[in-house]
Amino acid sequence: MKNFSHLLLLTVMLCGVLVPLSGYAQSPSSPALKPAAASISVIPPQSATNEPAERSAAATAGIPIYTYEVVNIYPHDPGAFTQGLLFLDGALLESMGLHGQSSLRKVELKTGRVLKHVEVPEQYFAEGLAVLTDKVFQLTWQDHKVFIYDLKSLRLEREFPYESEGWGLTTDGQWLILSDGTDQIRFLDPLTFEVKRTIRVQTLGLPVDRLNELEYIKGEIFANVWDTDYVVRIDPVTGRVFGVIDFSGLLAAQDRRENNVLNGIAYDAVEDRLFVTGKRWPKLFEVRLKLSEKN
């Protein structure tokens, strides 16, 4: 079922089911999918009901497709197998994966210089990352364990068990929000890791799985769809997808190697900046989102 729903998601994105009848029949690299001339902010203005404006429009006109405009390009360690990414107080925090190579880093944005580095024991494969209050939470993939660090020093304070696989992690300021590679997203108590509620992510009534790295941005969950160039925008209450971002072509083909997939979303709430990168990408991009011409 996982593979079926993943392929179904790509099919509807590429064939235009998610957009009005005048939508796409081309591939993501087609000239028809170039960014529109007029840009929008990273998150559209909220309506009087505190619901993003395009959320209600999507119900009647299909789910909006977004493209991007590159605002800035920053260096990124091409050896970093990025699993979790966030921006805080002018710097990036990054979780690196793979057995024997996993770590937690604090990185200077403009130079890519590593400011702090913490090794994860070699038997663990690190995954998603989140900061809540003064703690850093780092998932492991299949070891059912989360590492909790002091935010200021990055000193490991304790470990905590959880039941599912760990893929992506973010927070809404109250709960930790976890993806496990399925269509489910769980909201967890940060003190006990007890599951408080679960949403199932879906579009057109069908499950959207392979949800990976997460970022909570102004009341929305942004999620990488693993092994694709797509990020979906998710309603954290209902699980409904109400936007799809197509990052095709962001990193030049010659800079990508096998498994160097898009994976890494970070948001600067102070300056309203969105950053994306991928596994072993030599660049980190600051982007501005645009509605596609064909919406």
- Residue with token string 């999918």: 33
**Rounded average pLDDT over 27-38:** 26
Q: DSSP per residue over 129-147, as a string?
A: EEEETTEEEEEESSS-EEE
- Confidence check: pLDDT of 92 > 80: yes
Amino acid at 168: G
Give the per-residue pLDDT at 281: 92
The secondary structure of residue 6, as a DSSP letter, is H
**Rounded average pLDDT over 216-222:** 96
Across the chain, mean pLDDT equals: 81
- Confidence check: pLDDT of 208 > 60: yes
- Residue with token string 């994966």: 97
**Rounded average pLDDT over 262-276:** 95
Q: When comparing pLDDT for 281 and 25, which is higher? A: 281
Token couple for 168: 């992506």
Give the per-residue pLDDT at 292: 83
Bridge partners (DSSP) listed for residue 285: 73, 276
Give the per-residue pLDDT at 204: 83
Token couple for 182: 């399925």
Distance CA(188)–CA(198), nearest Å, equals: 9
- Confidence check: pLDDT of 19 > 80: no
- Confidence check: pLDDT of 55 > 80: no
Q: Given its phi and psi angles, is residue 279 left (phi above 0), alpha (psi -120 to 50 degrees) or beta?
A: beta
Give the per-residue pLDDT at 68: 95
Distance CA(185)–CA(16), nearest Å, equals: 26
Amino acid at 232: V
Using an 8 Å Cβ cutoff, are 274 and 42 in contact? yes
Q: What is the pLDDT of residues 154-206, one digit of tens each?
A: 999 999 888 889 999 999 999 999 999 999 999 999 999 999 999 999 988 89
Give the range among 76-80, 100-104, 123-127, 249-253 with minimum mean pLDDT: 249-253
CA 50, chain centre distance (Å): 23
Give the per-residue pLDDT at 140: 94
Using pLDDT thresholds of 50, 70 and 90, give the confidence band for residue 260. Answer: confident
Using an 8 Å Cβ cutoff, are 247 and 210 in contact? no
- Confidence check: pLDDT of 6 > 60: no
Distance CA(24)–CA(22), nearest Å, equals: 7
- Confidence check: pLDDT of 76 > 90: yes
- Confidence check: pLDDT of 3 > 70: no
Q: When comparing pLDDT for 90 and 33, which is higher? A: 90
Q: Which domains does the chain have, with CATH numbers?
A: 2-291 (2.40.128.630)
Give the per-residue pLDDT at 294: 67
DSSP reduced 3-state for 60: helix
H or E stretch covering 192: none
Give the range among 45-49, 143-147, 235-239, 281-285 with minimum mean pLDDT: 45-49
> What are the backbone angles phi and psi of residue 42, rounded to the nearest 5°?
-55, -45
Exposure b/e, 243-275, CB count within 10 A at least 16 = b? bbbbbbebbeeeebeeebbbbbbbbbeeeebbb
Give the per-residue pLDDT at 85: 96
Distance CA(102)–CA(52), nearest Å, equals: 37
Give the range among 38-52, 64-78, 196-210, 238-252 with minimum mean pLDDT: 38-52
